Amino acid sequence: MGNRAPASALACTVRACGQPLTRGDRAWTCPGGHTFDIARSGYVNLLQPQDRRSASAGDSKASVEARARLLDRGVGRALVDDIVRRAAALDVADRLPVVVDLGSGSGDVLGELAGVRSIEGIGIDLSTAAAEHAAHTFPTLTWVVANADRRLPLLDHSVSILVSVHGRRNPSECARALKTNGWLLVAIPAPDDLVELRERVQGARVERDRGDALLAEHAPFFTLRERGVVRERSRLDRDALKDLLRGTYRGERRRDAERVDALGDLDVTLASEVFLFTALPSPLAPSAS
C-alpha cells in the first residue's frame, strides 16, 4: 500500500534553500538546481557537511542486523505491533497521509504500517547502514539519511503523522513539520526495559524514568493525548542476548566483556512507554482542510 514520498514533503537541505524535492529516476532535485543522487540500494543521502558527526555516523551495520535478527525471532514484536496499530487508527484529513519515521532503523515500523494503511512513507535515519537495509526490505517507501538533531528535511506543515521509536526527538522541528491536527507518536524505553540483562551485565538493577523529562521537552509544542506502556517478556539464549546488547543504545562495552561472555539463558523484559501528542496551534500553520 505504501508509495514514494511526494514532492511536497521532502525539502532540500542545502543551506538557505529548503525548497521542495522531487524524485527522478536517479536523483532528487529542487527548483534551485540542487541534486541528491539515489544510492543503488534506493535511499537518498541528504546530509550536508555541517551535519556530519563522523564518516560512519549512526548505528553500525552490525547493530541494524542484530535488531533485524531479533525481530525475526519475535523479540520486540509487541512494540512494533502496538505502534503500527496506533498509527493505523489515527484520524487524519488526507486521503494519502505523509507519515515520517524519525530514527527509522531497519524500517519495520514504517514498512508494516504501509502494509495496513495507504501512506506516503518517509524514513529518516543518520545511519547509511540502516537506510540501506530499510530500502532493500521496503523499496516502495522513501528512505533518507539525515541528521534529525538538526533541521528536518521536511517542508513546513507537510506531515500528518510523525513517529519516533527509541530514536532521536526534536520537538520544535516536529511541530514545524506537522500539519494542523497532525500527530506525534513517541516510544522510549520504560524504567524496567532490559532490567534483567542490565543487572547481569552491569552488576546493578537500575531503573531510570525518562517519561517526565520527555513530557517537559515536548510541553512547549505539544498536547499529550495518550500515555501507555508496552511490555513483553522472553526467555532468550546467549546469542539473542548479545544481539540485544548490539542493537540497543547501550551496545557491547569492552569493560563488560567478561560478564557478556558468561551469559546463559535469561528471562528478559522489553518495556516501552508510548506517548501520543498533537501539536499546539501555530500562528504560521495553514488551517486544516
Mean pLDDT of 4-25: 85
Residue 4 inside a domain? The answer is no
Q: How many domains is the chain partitioned into structurally?
A: 1
- What does the pLDDT read at residue 200? 83
Residue 12 lies in a domain: no
* pLDDT of the residue at 84: 98
| Host domain of residue 67 | 42-279
Contact of 129 with 60, CB cutoff 8 Å: yes
At residue 135 the predicted structure's pLDDT band, cuts being 50, 70 and 90, is very high
**Region for residue 194 given its phi and psi (left: phi exceeds 0; alpha: psi -120 to 50; beta: otherwise):** left
Please work out, in degrees rounded to the nearest 5, the angle formed at the alpha carbon of residue 163 by the alpha carbons of 52 and 75: 95
- The per-residue b/e assignment along 63-88, b for 16 or more CB within 10 angstroms, e otherwise, is bbbbbbebbeeebbbbbbebbbebbe
Q: Say if 25 falls within a structural domain.
A: no
Mean of pLDDT values over 179-187: 95
**Is 33 among the domain residues?**
no
Q: Is the pLDDT reported for residue 152 higher than 60?
A: yes
What CATH number is given to the structural domain containing 46? 3.40.50.150
Q: Do the domain assignments include residue 256?
A: yes
Is pLDDT of 52 > 90?
no
Please report whether residue 251 resides in a domain.
Answer: yes
Please report whether residue 22 resides in a domain: no
**pLDDT score at 136:** 96
- Residue 199: pLDDT band (50, 70, 90) is confident
The answer to the question of residue 35 being in a domain is no
Q: What is the pTM of this model?
A: 0.91
Q: What is the mean pLDDT of the chain?
A: 88
With 70 as the cut, is the pLDDT of residue 253 above it?
A: no
Q: How much of the chain, in percent, has pLDDT values that exceed 70?
A: 88
Q: What is the pLDDT of residue 286?
A: 64
pLDDT of residue 247: 82
**pLDDT (0 to 100) of residue 259:** 66
Mean pLDDT value of segment 155-175: 94
Q: pLDDT tens for residues 66-105?
A: 999 999 999 999 999 999 999 999 999 888 999 999 999 9
